[in-house]
Amino acid sequence: MPTMLDYKLPEQRHTTLVLQGSLIVLRLFVAISIFWMVHHLSTSSSPHQSMLLIGLLIYASSSVLLGLAAIKSAASSMAKTCHGLDVVLSMWLLWVLPDHAMLGFSVPLVLFSAALVGYRAFGLVLFAALLLGVALFSAYWHQILSSSMPMPIHILQGILSLIALLVSFRLQQPQILSGSHATDPQSGLPYFSVLKEGFVYLLPYHQRHRIPLSLMMIRLPEKSMIQTETLQAVCAYVAQRLRKSDLMVRYDERHLAILLCDTSDHGAFLLAQALQQYLRTDNLAPALHYAVLRVPLENSILDVLLQKMQDALILASQHETDRVVFVSND
């Protein structure tokens, strides 16, 4: 059914396509540039040149194939695999060609790639430390460390690396401000602040394109009636039935709140019924109650809507059986 599809909003998917396409072009450009540089700086043919050609061909072809797979599937694992190739290529170049200062540009390349893929600033620092350690050890192993001197080009490479760190801070800033790094220890879900900021971001998109937007709330049993492991199992199953564009949070001790993008109240009702049927059949948890509500595209106040749903669920919980209730906007 439509509510089970795993997809991203068009704007998010467009950004992902542009990002992955740009990284494919950048990696091809770097591979060609490095081979051209080493070929023209070397006075004669050497085994290193043959190894470099083979390695760069493998790198370029793998990056293109994995990058296209990442675009097709929108999977972050593919994008991170491409970034792993960047790290491997940089370590290899810094090891086999320690006397080429231009290869130091592979460090900011790896850092920019890491920032765009989604690594935080601390991860970038670890990557920089790793590559710097490889470069120093390679220079020591090839006995050129004592004759190596800082060059102006190294300053430029350091500046570019700092810019990559700033880019990472900028890209991660919305997640830090939303508190998405903090989760409820019992359920493993983010707190309500994440839903509030997601609602502020997603509502204008749905208003502009006149796309339906719905809320679902699940009322949990009392804390004494459900164990932490059971609650986590329930949350994990519900999360599996949601899409990447949906948001599920711990609203309070007794309620989970879910924002369903591009979903009508009927679609939300079908999803609630599917969850109800599975959890009831599997005896995974005591009776749960579900409320669904179509978010009005005009004059919507999230706290008011959720309070209506909570009141309806408290009333429904007076009945012994689990049920799905519609909540009116009026």
Helix/strand/coil (H/E/C) assignment for every residue in the chain: CHHHCCCCCHHHHHHHHHHHHHHHHHHHHHHHHHHHHHHHHCCCCCHHHHHHHHHHHHHHHHHHHHHHHHHHHCCHHHHHHHHHHHHHHHHHHHHHCCCCHHHHHHHHHHHHHHHHHCCCHHHHHHHHHHHHHHHHHHHHHCCCCCCCCCCHHHHHHHHHHHHHHHHHHHHHHHHHHHCCCCECCCCCCEEHHHHHHHHHHHHHHHHHHCCCCEEEEEECCCHHHCCHHHHHHHHHHHHHHCCCCCEEEEEECCEEEEEECCCCHHHHHHHHHHHHHHHHHHCCCCCCEEEEEECCCCCCCHHHHHHHHHHHHHHHCCCCCCCEEECCCC
Q: What is the arithmetic mean of pLDDT over 10-27?
A: 62
Please tell me the predicted confidence (pLDDT) of residue 112.
79
203 and 76 inside one domain? no
Residue span of the structural domain in which 311 resides: 192-326
Q: 113 and 204 in one domain?
A: no
In this structure, is residue 184 part of a structural domain?
Answer: no
Specify whether 153 is located in the same domain as 210. no
Q: Is 305 inside a domain boundary?
A: yes
What local confidence, expressed as pLDDT, does residue 140 receive? 82
11 and 140 in a single domain? The answer is: yes
Q: Residue 203: which CATH number?
A: 3.30.70.270
pLDDT of 1 over the 60 cut: no
Confidence of residue 63 (pLDDT cuts 50, 70, 90): confident
Q: How confident is the model at residue 72 (pLDDT cuts 50, 70, 90)?
A: low
Question: Is residue 147 a part of any domain in this protein?
Answer: yes
| Domain shared by 174 and 244, yes or no | no
Q: What confidence category does residue 176 fall into, taking pLDDT thresholds of 50, 70 and 90?
A: very low
The pLDDT mean for the chain works out to 77
Q: Give tens-digit pLDDT for 89-121.
A: 888 878 877 777 777 777 887 887 787 776 777
What pLDDT shows up at residue 294?
94
248 found inside a domain: yes
Tell me whether residue 183 is in a domain.
no
Q: Please indicate, yes or no, whether residues 136 and 42 belong to a single structural domain of this protein.
A: yes
Indicate whether 38 pLDDT > 70.
no
Domain co-membership, 157 together with 201: no
pLDDT of residue 215: 95
Asked if residue 180 has pLDDT above 50, the reply is no
Based on the fold, state whether residues 211 and 158 are members of the same structural domain. no
Number of domains in the chain: 2
With 80 as the cut, is the pLDDT of residue 127 above it?
Answer: yes
Question: For the residues 242-250, what does the mean pLDDT come to?
Answer: 89
Predicted confidence at residue 12, as pLDDT, reads 43
In a domain, 200, yes or no: yes
What is the pLDDT, as a whole number, of residue 172?
56
